[in-house]
């Protein structure tokens, strides 16, 4: 039997109960103390109660979304670390984070964030996609990881400079902050 397979099974046997315990804790933690057993019984029996509503409509979606987002970020980080062959690799090194931040800053700066709830995340996604596209255009046919990292560092620097430029063009030092709070308050 392969030692690596045994290590993977042992790791899964440890991590799965730990994940379920953290999920149970997440369902039990909140501003209001609820009886988790009663809430689960009410969900199973299709009875409406405050505990059932809090668990079903607030805490369960929050806990599942946290697990989904955490797992997705973990997979994306592992993919980037595998691509760059470096266990310390992260999206900020190759400019993806600054591209997303630039997209969000532009959406805030021009006031598009107030139009709909999804415009700000969409601006961040478009900024990150443009950063990745620019990196791949710069890298071209080169298969070198060093070229990829250097192109990413260049995109990172350009993104940081463009963010500073966008913030510098604000009417006052607090104008961007005022727009951010105005966009969030809708």
Please give the pLDDT value at position 140.
Answer: 87
Are 180 and 137 within one domain?
A: yes
26 CB neighbour count, 10 Å cutoff: 16
**Residue-number span of the structural domain to which 24 is assigned:** 1-84
Number of structural domains (the chain) is: 2
Of 84, 105, 123, which residue is a domain's last? 84
Please give the pLDDT value at position 184.
Answer: 45
Are 47 and 122 within one domain?
A: no
* Cα 57 to Cα 95: distance, rounded to the nearest angstrom: 37
* Cα 186 to Cα 181: distance, rounded to the nearest angstrom: 9
The upper half-sphere exposure of residue 3, i.e. CA atoms within 13 Å in the direction of its Cβ, equals 0
Low-confidence ranges of the chain (pLDDT < 70): 1-6, 170-173, 175-186
Please give the pLDDT value at position 186.
Answer: 42
| DSSP H helices in 29-174 | 36-44, 50-54, 60-84, 96-109, 119-139, 145-168
Helix (H, G, I), strand (E, B) or coil at 29: coil
Listed in sequence order, the residues at least 6 apart from 72 whose beta carbon sits closer than 8 Å to its beta carbon are none
Are 68 and 119 within one domain?
A: no
- Return phi, psi of residue 93, to 5°: -65, -40
Are 98 and 80 within one domain?
A: no
Cα–Cα–Cα angle for 10, 12, 13, rounded to 5 degrees: 65
Please give the pLDDT value at position 92.
Answer: 84
Dihedral of the alpha carbons of 16, 19, 20, 22, in degrees to the nearest 10: 160
Are 53 and 30 within one domain?
A: yes
Assessment of whether the complete model's pTM goes beyond 0.85: no
Please give the pLDDT value at position 113.
Answer: 83
Please give the pLDDT value at position 183.
Answer: 45
């Amino acid at each position: 039997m392969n030692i690596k397979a045994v290590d993977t099974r042992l790791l899964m046997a440890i991590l799965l109960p730990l994940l379920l315990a953290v999920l149970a804790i997440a369902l039990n933690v909140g501003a209001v103390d609820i009886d988790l057993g009663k809430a689960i019984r009410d969900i199973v029996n299709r009875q409406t109660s405050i505990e059932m509503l809090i668990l079903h409509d607030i805490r369960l979606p929050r806990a599942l979304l946290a697990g989904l987002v955490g797992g997705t970020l973990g997979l994306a980080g592992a993919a980037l670390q595998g691509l760059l062959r470096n266990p310390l690799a992260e999206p900020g090194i190759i400019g993806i984070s600054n591209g997303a931040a630039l997209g969000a800053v532009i959406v805030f700066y021009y006031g598009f964030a107030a139009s709909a709830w999804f415009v700000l995340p969409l601006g961040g996604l478009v900024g990150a996609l443009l950063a990745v596209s620019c990196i791949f255009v710069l890298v071209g046919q080169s298969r070198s990881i060093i070229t990829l990292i250097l192109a990413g560092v260049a995109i990172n620097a350009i993104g940081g400079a463009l963010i500073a430029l966008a913030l510098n063009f604000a009417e006052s030092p607090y104008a961007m902050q005022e727009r951010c709070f105005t966009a969030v308050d809708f």
